[in-house]
Structure 1
Amino acid sequence: MGVEGITAFRVGFSALLLLAIFRPWRSPITKRDAVNLLIYGTVLGMMNLLIYRAFDRIPIGIAVAIEVTGPLSVALLSSRRPRDFASCALAIFGLYLLLPFDGGPGQLDPAGIAYAFGAALCWALYIVFGKRASALRGGQGVAWGMLVASLFTVPLGIACSGAAMLAPAIVLTGIAIAVLSSAIPYTLEVIALRGLSQGLFGMLSSAAPAVSALAGFLILGEMLTASQWIAIACIVLASATSAWSARIRN
């Protein structure tokens, strides 16, 4: 079905589910809230599109390791502690091991890397504007945000994937993906953002690259080199260290 099609299913069905559950139109929003929700929804949709494009070109664990530098940057930019500078250096070293500087065996697709970095930027903005959206009542913020994301991802998916999206098995899979990877997680994230700082929330994602790499290996048979596993471990350690530092500050 393609990247655009699966993104359309993930975001589109999630928007319908969240709108039905939270009915956000029952509470008015201010003009400032509307602007925040517009940005929040846009980066949410772009983050989904870009990370799926990255998955299509490079191993999942590596794509998520690059993507997690987005929330890592949010935490590091909010701190001036020496420990956090050390975390930044460790993350940079991990990226150095991942990126195809030498052009040798195991070189990654540059386009896949670019998409992953684009998703990282969107994830950083998602945390910033998601924090603001979390101030809205109930699941109002995530419901409106998902609707905004669907306004451009769904038409794009239909244009690119067409009739392939109508196959019954694809529809059922799309609904499952929408519930398990968007509707539930994004709702829980917005709830969590109410009580956590941006930095601490961002760094609680520190295990994501390792879990993704393991899932890619066990389910998809994606094989990583020793240096790529070391690179992922460096980024995970950098994220975990920053998470601990943020926890101390809070």
Structure 2
Amino acid sequence: MPAPSIRSRAGAPPLGLAVALVLVGIASVQLGAGVAKTLFDEVEPTAIVWLRLATSSLVLVALARPRLRGRTREEWLTVLAFGASLGVMNWAIYQSFSRIPIGVAVTFEFVGPLTLAALGFSRRRDLAWVALAGVGVVLLGAERSGLDPLGVGFALLAGAAWASYILLSARTGRQWPGLDGLAVASVVALVVVTPGLVGVDAGGLADTRILLLGAAVGLLSSVVPYSAELVALRRLPAATFGVLMSLEPAAAALVGLLVVGETLAPAQWLAIGCVVAASIGATRAAGPRQAAPAPD
């Protein structure tokens, strides 16, 4: 989840602490994904997504207490679109997690922000980063063991929603102060996902253990990383933040290995390395105009 565009250095942490906070946010997001995946045998992914969004919505609305009166039609359209992209992104990536390894899913998902960064390139040589990412994707596709095509499709859909989310996040940050836009968008995302519960076996939601773990996923995947990134962005340039966020696929693969017990073939690790390197290069080439915030 990206922090709003707060560039003030008032109360900014030291550089080392800011970097550490971003890394904590990355680890927290992926740990939340790992915990969520361990629940998929008991509860449908859509139900876990709903719990995650419900938790983050409650916390963010309580913190922000957004002002709704006096908003323009443009501001409402922006935050509604932002919330819709947030809901689709969360739903699609969890559908992908349920079918393919977490590290592979997040690597395919990165195609979205990488494409967005590539659109900002002004030099032909920077397209080499796109080619490197393409090599990574080809390597993932070549290793078909445990690679469900539907899972790949959901990851790519999440990536497209992520690219939209990045653009709408910046616009929302300009139109809505503080946490207001993000809080409203989280509620919108919850509303978008709720119809998906129809026809889904959500009986596990009556289990206290599942509810608590689902709430933990919401805190780990949304509230903790957002808070860490909000503080870190007071000190870090957007480009530096984007480079750090490029570590997401590798972090996802490690969590998949350590938390879920997912093993990847050597070619898949190489593919993840290609995409991480391409993301770092693309972020640096695009400069401060583009950063790849973490998905909510």
TM-score computed with the length of structure 1 as normaliser: 0.89
Whole-angstrom CA distance in 1 between matches of 2:164 and 2:149: 23
Following superposition, the deviation at residue 189 of structure 1 comes to 5.6
- What does 1:173-212 align with in structure 2 at a 5 Å threshold? 173-186=213-226, 202-212=242-252
What aligned pairs does 1:26-175 form with structure 2 within 5 A after superposition?
A: 28-100=70-142, 106=145, 108-135=147-174, 136-157=176-197, 159-175=199-215
Paired amino acid for 1:108: L
The 3 A distance-change label for structure 1 pair 202 and 231 is same
Specify the alignment match of 2:18 in structure 1: none
Conserved? CA contact 2:118–2:286, under 8 Å: no
Alpha-carbon distance in 2 for matches of 1:113, 1:217:
19
AA paired with 1:175? A
- Cα 1:155/1:190, change in 2 over 3 Å: farther
1:64–1:208: 8 Å Cα contact kept in structure 2? yes
Give the Å deviation of 1:14: 1.1
Q: 1:147 to 1:32 in 2, by over 3 A?
A: same
Distance change >3 Å, CA 191–CA 159, structure 1 → 2: farther
| Cα deviation, residue 200, structure 1 | 6.8
Distance 2:234 2:182 in 1: 12
Distance across 2 between alignment mates of 1:249 and 1:185: 22
- One-letter amino acid of the structure 2 residue matched with residue 152 of structure 1: V
* Cα pair 2:44 2:202 within 8 Å, conserved: no
Structure 2 SS opposite 1:209: helix
* 197-206 or 13-22: bigger deviation: 197-206
Cα distance in 2 for residues equivalent to 1:162 and 1:222 = 26
User: Shift of the alpha carbon at 1:29?
Assistant: 2.4
Identical aligned residues as a percent: 38
SS of corresponding position for 2:67: helix
Structure 1, unmatched stretches of 5+, are none
Match of 2:273 among 210, 233, 236: 233
- Superposed displacement of residue 183, structure 1: 2.7
TM-fit CA distance, 1:219: 1.6
State the AA in 2 paired with 1:161. D
How far apart are 1:205 and its partner, in Å? 2.0
Contact 2:249 2:276 in 1 (8 A): yes
Structure 2, unpaired ranges of 5+? 1-42, 291-296
Q: Give the secondary structure class of the aligned counterpart of 2:145.
A: coil
User: How has the CA–CA distance of structure 1 residues 41 and 190 changed in structure 2, closer, same or farther, with 3 Å as cutoff?
Assistant: farther
The 1:174/1:146 distance shift into structure 2, 3 A limit, reads same
The answer to whether the Cα contact below 8 Å between 1:60 and 1:212 also exists between their aligned partners in 2 is yes
Q: Against the structure 1 CA distance between its residues 179 and 248, is the aligned structure 2 distance closer, same or farther, given a 3 Å change threshold?
A: closer
Q: Is the 8 A contact 2:87 2:190 kept in 1?
A: yes
Question: Does residue 213 in structure 1 map to residue 239 in structure 2?
Answer: no
- Cα distance, 1:27 vs structure 2: 6.1
The Cα offsets for residues 105-147 of structure 1, whole Å up to 9 and x where unpaired, read as: 6251100100000000000000000111112211011101001
RMSD over equivalenced CA pairs, Å: 2.6
TM-score where L is the length of structure 2: 0.76
d(CA) in 1 for partners of 2:160 and 2:250? 20
CA distance in 1, matches of 2:190, 2:102: 24
2:64 paired residue number:
22
Structure that is richer in helix per residue: 1
- Whole-angstrom CA distance in 1 between matches of 2:231 and 2:76: 19
